[in-house]
């Protein structure tokens, strides 16, 4: 078992920022374990090429507290900047190492990954985000349809398809507007009105709807799916079924509650309990990023790493000095 003073779980914006903050504070450098083969996997997988990465979430400006910040830029620019941060600070990131277990043993943490890595640490920072697994619908997806049901935009663009996008947030709106360039798109949402879409995306969506490029079906309650030849038959509650070639779900992410509860972290409803520095009920186990934020924000994730660093410095400096 490899002995380290600080282990960060997750190489997204919060995890990268946490590793930078502790290193630049003169503490022992952290080891970062990441399930994917690259950093910022959520942005790599769920943001289409050229998509805008906003510094301010829904125009709510977040003032910089820590070392990292950025201006609104494209997906490619943001990822390049994160790679530059990793290289500039010489961060120790172990890729393809999905953490599946945290154990507390004799006042230290034992971290085990699916890739066979075993680490012992004094401090653990969990920065795994909420988008590790996309939310799936409550009704079953027939196995015959699984290759036609998607939870993110494909690398190969679609052309000439009848597409149903399900969701009421920014991801659903952006996907509908992107897909309607070369496809016939319907956007299904269970409420009569959108309320979670930022102003820029709402404007763009309204334009696509006015031009007839996107049809909306609201409110719409999907109760099941059935194969219909090579197409998907979508069954609506109290409405006529419709058929599509491809169906996209953008229903959000889910907090990795079971993983944290197995480590002993207490929850209030679906939210893990943590103090102002992100420390949980388990001493020296900190949370950063989406796990402690009310709304997803990259600047908020950067700042949460700064607060974690402050907590480590003020409470456990002697455990993490070089």
What are the residue ranges spanned by the domains of the chain? 2-133+253-320, 143-249
Q: What SS3 state is found at 53?
A: strand
Mean pLDDT, the chain, integer? 92
237 or 45, greater pLDDT: 237
- CA pair distance 124, 141, nearest whole angstrom: 37
Work out the angle at residue 132's Cα, subtended by the Cα atoms of residues 128 and 134, and round it to the nearest 5 degrees.
150
Both tokens of residue 247?
A: 């169906």
Percentages (nearest 5) of helix, strand, coil residues in the chain: 30, 30, 45
**pLDDT of 257 over the 80 cut:** yes
Question: Domain 143-249, CATH 3.50.50.60 — does that match?
Answer: yes
pLDDT tens, residue by residue, 271-321: 899 999 999 999 999 999 989 987 668 999 999 999 999 999 999 999 999
| Percent with pLDDT over 90 in the chain | 73
Give the global pTM.
0.75
From residue 121, alpha-carbon distances to 83, 137, 173, 201, 271 in Å are 25, 38, 42, 43, 25
User: Strands of 222-228's sheet, edge to edge?
Assistant: 222-228, 231-236, 242-244
In terms of Cα–Cα distance, which of 64, 65, 16 is closest to 40?
16
Residue spans of beta strands (DSSP E) within the chain: 2-9, 31-33, 52-53, 73-74, 92-94, 99-105, 108-113, 118-126, 149-150, 162-166, 184-188, 214-217, 222-228, 231-236, 242-244, 246-249, 267-268, 271-272, 285-287
- Is residue 164 within 8 Å of residue 188, measured between CB atoms? yes
In terms of Cα–Cα distance, which of 223, 240, 231, 221 is closest to 145?
231
pLDDT tens, residue by residue, 165-222: 999 988 899 899 999 999 999 999 999 998 778 787 899 999 999 999 999 999 999 9
What is the per-residue pLDDT for 29? 96
- CA pair distance 205, 111, nearest whole angstrom: 44
pLDDT tens, residue by residue, 142-169: 999 999 999 888 867 899 999 999 999 8
* Helical H segments across 220-297, by residue range: 257-262
Residue 229 is given by DSSP the state T
pLDDT tens, residue by residue, 67-95: 999 988 999 999 999 999 999 999 999 99
Question: Domain 2-133+253-320, CATH 3.50.50.60 — does that match?
Answer: yes
What is the per-residue pLDDT for 15? 98
Q: CB neighbours (10 Å) of residue 166?
A: 22
């Amino acid at each position: 078992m490899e002995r380290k003073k600080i282990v960060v779980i997750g190489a997204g914006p919060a995890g990268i920022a946490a590793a930078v903050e502790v290193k630049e504070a003169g503490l022992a450098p952290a080891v970062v374990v990441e399930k994917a083969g690259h950093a910022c996997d959520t942005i790599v997988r769920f943001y289409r090429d050229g998509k805008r990465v906003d510094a301010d979430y829904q125009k709510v400006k977040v003032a910089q507290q820590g070392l990292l910040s950025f201006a609104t830029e494209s997906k490619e620019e943001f990822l390049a900047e994160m790679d530059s941060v990793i290289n500039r600070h010489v961060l120790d990131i172990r890729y393809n190492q999905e953490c599946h277990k945290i154990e507390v043993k004799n006042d230290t943490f034992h971290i085990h990954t699916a890739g066979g890595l075993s680490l012992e640490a004094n401090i653990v920072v969990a920065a795994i985000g909420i988008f590790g697994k996309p939310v799936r619908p409550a009704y079953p997806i027939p196995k015959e349809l699984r290759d036609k049901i998607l939870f993110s935009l494909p690398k190969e663009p679609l052309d000439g398809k009848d597409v149903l996008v399900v969701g009421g947030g920014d991801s659903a709106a952006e996907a509908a507007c992107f897909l309607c360039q070369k496809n016939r798109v319907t956007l299904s949402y269970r409420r009569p009105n959108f309320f979670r879409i930022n102003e820029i995306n709402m404007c763009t969506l309204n334009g696509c709807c006015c031009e007839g490029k996107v049809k909306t079906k609201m409110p719409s309650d999907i109760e099941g799916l059935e194969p219909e030849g090579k197409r998907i038959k979508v069954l609506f509650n109290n409405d006529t079924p419709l058929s599509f070639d491809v169906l996209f779900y953008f229903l959000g992410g889910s907090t990795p509650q079971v993983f944290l509860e197995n480590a002993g972290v207490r929850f209030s409803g679906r939210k893990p309990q943590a103090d102002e520095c992100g420390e949980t009920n388990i001493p020296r186990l900190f949370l950063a990023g989406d796990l402690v934020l009310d709304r997803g924000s990259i600047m908020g994730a950067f700042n949460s790493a700064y607060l974690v660093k402050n907590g480590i410095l003020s409470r456990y400096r002697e455990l993490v000095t070089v």
